[in-house]
Amino acid sequence: MKILVFSSLNVDYDYHMDHIARPKETIVADSFVLAAGGKGLNSSIAIAKTGEHVYLAGVLGTGAELLEKTLLENNVDISLLDRQNVPNGHAIIQIDKNGENSIFIYGGSNACITKEYVDKVIAQFDEGDLIVMQNEINNQDYIMQKAHEKGMKLLLNPSPCNDSLKEQPLELVDYFFINEVEGEILSGCPEPEDILENMKLKYPRANIVLTLGSTGAYYYDGTNKVFCPARKVKAVDTVGAGDTFMGYFTYALSKGMTPAECMEIATKASSITVQRYGAAAAVPTLDEVNALD
């Protein structure tokens, strides 16, 4: 079984500050770091850090040498990446003294996926292979359709949760990874238990993974429900927690682990990510995860 992440790569501009700037307020950041990020890049690195082979598809633009270097250092297979002479996508990230963040992204290269490129990538995969997606690139509907036609299993984190999702065939998704905000938008329900039930009713094919930050996460497939509490740790920067969770869960799934085992390893891995600064740079190796009790 092969694993493909078809998604975004961002140059992250990380600013650490006392609090997140309010409307009309100008503040001075305490520090600045240029980091490798993007939900696709982060989750591909999480999978690669388990030692598993993973392909990342997407568009690498200009000014993104750091991203290529980081992907190569972490053994992500970038042979399928498209390269275009357009500015790479980026993210502006404010991180406050409690580790809380506020992010906006600019699509750039991530908005330059062509249908011809999608066809070329999907042609390399077969029935039963896994495709991991988020919602930071264009032509998502086409990718989902083509992957489904191939019989690939579709894992989606519908973030950012915006109007583009309305054009996407979400009924084809096999695994949703959502947080409370995305869950409420997609299901119309604010409470976790109701989100799970309503998501399952709306998307009967899908298994639902609902992450709840420092509270923990649920898995629900309509029959089995697993709740895995978050580990008690001191979080300094939660950027990339969801991507780490999704990456480790995908790895565990590819190894045939049970839902409870997938949840446990993903919870452990993301508990390490939140104790470190950065997105991709914060993702732990499988040895570090296995060292936790």
Task: Return residues touching ligand ATP (CB under 6 A).
Answer: 179, 211-214, 216-217, 230-231, 233, 235, 238-243, 245, 267, 270-271, 274
Residue spans of beta strands (DSSP E) within 128-205: 130-133, 153-156, 175-179
Q: Is 105 an interacting residue with respect to ligand RIB (CB under 6 A)?
A: yes
Q: At what angle do helices 241-254 and 39-48 cross, to 10 degrees?
A: 40
Which stretch in 21-29, 35-43, 208-216, 266-274 sits in contact with ligand RIB by CB under 6 A? 35-43
- CA nearest neighbour of 46 among 275, 269, 277: 269
x/- string (CB under 6 A) for ligand RIB, residues 182-211?
A: ------------------------------
Please report how close the Cβ of residue 240 comes to ligand RIB at its closest, in angstroms: 5
Longest CA pairwise span in the chain (Å): 52
Is residue 70 a contact partner of residue 45, using CB atoms and an 8 Å limit? Answer: yes
Structure tokens belonging to residue 135: 């919602």
Task: Return d(Cα 110, Cα 203) in angstroms, integer.
Answer: 27
Q: What is the DSSP letter of 139?
A: -
Q: Tell me which residue has its CB nearest to ligand ATP.
A: 242
Site for ligand RIB in 223-252 (CB under 6 A): 239-240, 242-243
Nearer to ligand ATP (CB atom), residue 83 or residue 97:
97
Residue 105, contacted partner among ligand ATP, ligand RIB, none, CB below 5-8 A by kind: ligand RIB
Give rounded-to-5 percent helix, strand, coil for the chain. 35, 25, 40
Please report how close the Cβ of residue 14 comes to ligand RIB at its closest, in angstroms: 9
> Rounded to a whole number, what is the distance in angstroms from the first to the last CA of the chain?
29
Q: Is 103 an interacting residue with respect to ligand RIB (CB under 6 A)?
A: yes
Is residue 187 a contact partner of residue 218, using CB atoms and an 8 Å limit? Answer: no
Nearer to ligand ATP (CB atom), residue 78 or residue 239:
239
Give residues in contact with ligand RIB (CB under 6 A): 8, 10, 12, 37-39, 42, 91, 103, 105, 136, 239-240, 242-243, 279
